[in-house]
Amino acid sequence: MAIKVKLYSLFRKYIDDRQVELKPEENKTVRDLIKTLDEKYDAVFSEKLIGEEEAINPGAIILVNGQNIHHLDKLDTKLKDGDILAIFPPSAGG
């Protein structure tokens, strides 16, 4: 199973690339994949994307094949071979 992960904005500095390909085990969720990114790259994806109540932080956007996971099963959205995950960190404006 291969999942392509596209990273935007500040997340690029943790991996030094616009996208990575991960090969997780079957039946993994978005939450599992975010934890895998933390472990593999010693990064802070979970901290930036998942709040204290295990929900997606306001302003963060995660897409699976172009669909916002808010319209799917949120962090429990199941991933399958060939999926493309796009991760946008919370942003501030002014």
What integer is the mean pLDDT of 23-44? 88
Assigned token pair, 83: 């999926």
Q: What is the pLDDT of residue 12?
A: 81
pLDDT at site 94: 54
Query: Is the pLDDT score of 36 beyond 60?
Result: yes
Give the per-residue pLDDT at 73: 97
Domain 3-88 in CATH 1.20.1260.10:
no
Give yes or no for a contact between 1 and 32, defined as CB atoms under 8 angstroms apart.
no
Residue 24 confidence (pLDDT): 82
**At 57, phi and psi to the nearest 5?**
-60, 145
- Count of CA atoms in the C-beta half-sphere (13 A) of 30: 24
Summarize pLDDT for 40-92 with one digit per residue, the tens. 888 788 888 888 788 888 888 999 999 999 999 999 999 999 999 999 887 75
Which carries the bigger pLDDT value, residue 26 or residue 6? Answer: 6
